[in-house]
Amino acid sequence: MDEVICLGIESTADDLGVGIATSEGAILANEKSTYTPERGGIHPREAARHHSAQVGSVLDSALAKAGVGPKEIDVIAFSQGPGMGPCLRTGATVARALSIYLDVPLVGVNHAVAHIEIGRLATGAEDPLTLFVSGGNTIVTGYEAGRYRIFGETLDIAVGNCLDVFAREAGFPYPGAPEVERRALKGERFIPLPYVVKGMDLSFSGLLTSALEKLRSGRYRVEDLCMSLQEVAFSMLGEVTERALAHTRKPELLLTGGVAANRRLQAVMRAIAEEHGAESYVVPLEYALDNGAMIAWTGLLAYLSGVRTPVEESLIRPRWRLDEVEIPWLR
Amino acid sequence: MASVGGGRLIARGAEAELYLQRPWLDREVLVKRRVRKRYRVPELDRRLREYRTVREAEIIHRAKELGVPTPVIYLIDIPRTTVYMEYVRGRRLRELLDELPREERLDLFHRVGVLVGRLHRGGIIHGDLTTSNMILTEDGRICFVDFGLAEVSEEVERRGVDLHLMRRMLISTHYGYAAECFQSFLQGYREVMGDAATEEVVRKMREIERRGRYVSERVEDGDG
């Protein structure tokens, strides 16, 4: 079969990404433009405005980087959900227009599936237990009988959101989570904070509230708070991941999503994999944060398994759950 | 009492190592030792292990008073975060379910529902309701063996989380018959808790499932 080329558009939150992937598993381009709020968190409509203003130039630079002309694109993929409505809508509109204009099929991709698939492609993991951690997601998942089953997830906010909000309140520049990681390295004293694990689920809202109270009290070194916040959050993630690993007996452990860039979390996951005799994999930095390449690659996998998303079924799905998606390419 | 060294390692879970010891006064003794996790900072690691060791033994005792079969506790060694308890002979529900005819499977979940109802009515939240933590004993009882994440609470919120964990575990692990088993579970639960309290907990469970950021709006379809 001839090589198939897919262009993927990611726009679930603050990143607008365009990636180009081939059926050989090559990523030809992975371009992006990130919306930065002037203050506070991501404002969905502001982010969407940024995406629609930037999408033309990001598309151009992706095509140029890949050395591919528009006519050589065989499939258009887009992140259909889950994510922020206005942001998703912008990406979906562009994807539909491209699909009609170029007269090629359209494939709607689940954003969480894409984070797992790019992790598998980039690391070579085959059937991993996956911890997917980002600003909007905290999920422990593994493939079984046609789907990625969810073994554990957050009951309230995502771990990345917890770190970001703390960073913002501490006055760190946006995005703040990497600064929390840097400050944590200078932490000396562990400050007890609420540790909430329920079965294989987690809750971070009480942890965040307590860390913010201690921050505002001014009685603690901010470095100690950063260290303690990370230690408690990552120990919670470690515990549920370890439970899921013992439960599923998967031979591999994959860490993916934006928070996968954190070296302390990587060390926790490595230690757990080692203890259970599993191989440990971490998604490379360029594919950890939201990106277009993961949408292009996952769209290709779906396309090659016969998945198509007719325009009339291409409405965005802001709350599309990972475990609702059929995964025919792993069968 | 002999040390753990005298036992044979029979299982290594995520949190604890389980040893089967030589019989003590003709009883088979299971030793559950919460092991140090190198990935946790020592202060946090120590605090979690000691707290859970003590709390688990206390709640196992309370569960028995509520009519929920649990192992007999023989000894708690706090410095070594180790509990010595009765070794419950039988099979885990998780391994058993696929072999059972549908009627028996539904009956088991009905009985599990009754037991969880007793725990909740008595102010105990299990915190980790999975079929790996339930043993069908040789004399036909269902014994709950792991209370490491249990809490004392009468809050509807906590009860809702307990039921949510049960339902999600069924969907992720026993997807072939999750919906009907959960229905059967709820019937048993309702018999103990009554209609009003059950409705309230189920409503809370649905709210919790919608609270997670990216939960499908269609979660109320079908089961539950």
When comparing pLDDT for A264 and B26, which is higher? A264
Q: How far apart are CA A245 and CA A151, in angstroms?
A: 10
Query: Using one digit for the tens of pLDDT, what is the confidence trace for A213-266?
Result: 999 999 999 999 999 999 999 999 999 999 999 889 999 999 999 999 999 999
The predicted structure's pLDDT at residue A247: 84
Contact B15 A145 (CB under 8 A): no
* Residue A299: strand, helix, or coil: helix
Is the preceding peptide bond at A328 cis, omega within 30 degrees of 0?
no
pLDDT of residue B173: 86
pLDDT for residue B216: 39
**For B169, which residue in chain A has the nearest alpha carbon?**
A151
Say if CB B126 and CB B70 are below 8 A apart.
Answer: no
Class of the CATH-defined domain B90-211:
mainly alpha
Check B161 against A319: CB less than 8 A apart.
Answer: no
What region, left, alpha or beta, does residue A212 occupy, with left being phi > 0 and alpha being psi -120 to 50 degrees? alpha
pLDDT value, residue A153? 94
> How many Cβ contacts (< 8 angstroms) between chains A and B?
101
Tell me phi and psi for residue B148, to 5 degrees.
Answer: -60, -25
Choices 3.40.640.10, 3.20.20.10, 3.40.50.300, 3.30.420.40: CATH for A5-115+288-330: 3.30.420.40
* Ranges in chain A annotated CATH 3.30.420.40: 5-115+288-330, 127-285
Q: What are φ and ψ of residue B113, in 5° steps? A: -60, -40
For B174-202, what is the mean pLDDT? 96
Burial letters for A237-262: b for 16+ Cβ neighbours within 10 Å, e otherwise? Answer: bbbbbbbbbbbbebbbbbbbbbbbbb
Q: Which residues contact A80 (CB under 8 A, 6 or more apart)?
A: A88, A92, A108, A109, A110, A309, A314, A316, A317, A320
Q: Decide if B208 contacts B155 (C-beta within 8 A).
A: no
pLDDT, one tens digit per residue, over B49-65 is 999 999 999 999 999 99
C-alpha span between A179 and A257 (Å, rounded): 17
Q: What is the mean pLDDT of chain B?
A: 90
pLDDT value at position A130? 98
Instruction: Just give the CATH number of A127-285.
Output: 3.30.420.40
**CA–CA dist A246, A288 (Å, integer):** 25
The minimal CB distance from A151 to the residues B129, B172, B217 is found for: B172
How many CB atoms within 10 Å of residue B9?
12
Instruction: Assess whether pLDDT exceeds 70 at residue B4.
Output: no
Q: Nearest CA to CA, how far is B25 from chain A (Å)?
A: 33
Cα separation, A152 vs A196, in Å, equals: 13
> Would you give the end-to-end CA distance of chain A in angstroms?
20
Whether the predicted pLDDT of A82 surpasses 70: yes
Among B12, B213, B217, B223, the residue to mutate for chain A (most A Cβ within 10 A): B213
Residues forming beta bridges with residue A20, ordered by sequence position = A7, A29
Q: Let me know if B195 is a catalytic residue.
A: no
Quick check: B223 pLDDT over 60?
no
Beta carbons of A231 and B129 less than 8 Å apart: no
pLDDT for position A40: 78
**Mean pLDDT, rounded, for A324-331:** 94
In CATH terms, the fold of domain B4-86 is: Phosphorylase Kinase; domain 1 (3.30.200)
Q: Which two tokens stand for residue A236?
A: 């919670």
Say yes or no for a CB contact (<8 Å) between A192 and B43: yes
Which residues are A159's β-sheet partners? none
B172: its two tokens = 């992720």
CB contact under 8 A, B172 and A321: no
Residue type, A62: A
Residues 6+ apart with CB under 8 A from A97: none
The answer to whether residue B6 scores a pLDDT higher than 80 is no
For residues B160 and B201, the answer to whether their CB atoms sit within 8 Å is yes
Burial of B26 (0-12, 13-18, 19+ CB in 10 A): exposed
Question: Which residues of A are less than 8 Å from B11 in CB distance?
Answer: none
CA-based end-to-end distance of chain B: 47
**Catalytic residue (one of B45, B128, B139, B146):** B128
Distance from CA of A5 to the nearest CA of B (A): 30
Contacts with B47 from chain A: Cβ below 8 Å: 192
Residue A129 has pLDDT above 70, yes or no: yes
**pLDDT at residue number B88:** 93
Could you identify the residue written with the tokens 């308890």?
B85
B41/A231 touch (CB, cutoff 8 Å), yes or no: yes
Distance from CA of B111 to the nearest CA of A (A): 21
B84 pLDDT higher than 90: yes
**Per-residue pLDDT for B213 more than 70?**
no
Averaged pLDDT, A147-172: 95
CA distance A328 to chain B (A): 17
User: Can you name the residues that pair with B124 across neighbouring β-strands?
Assistant: B152
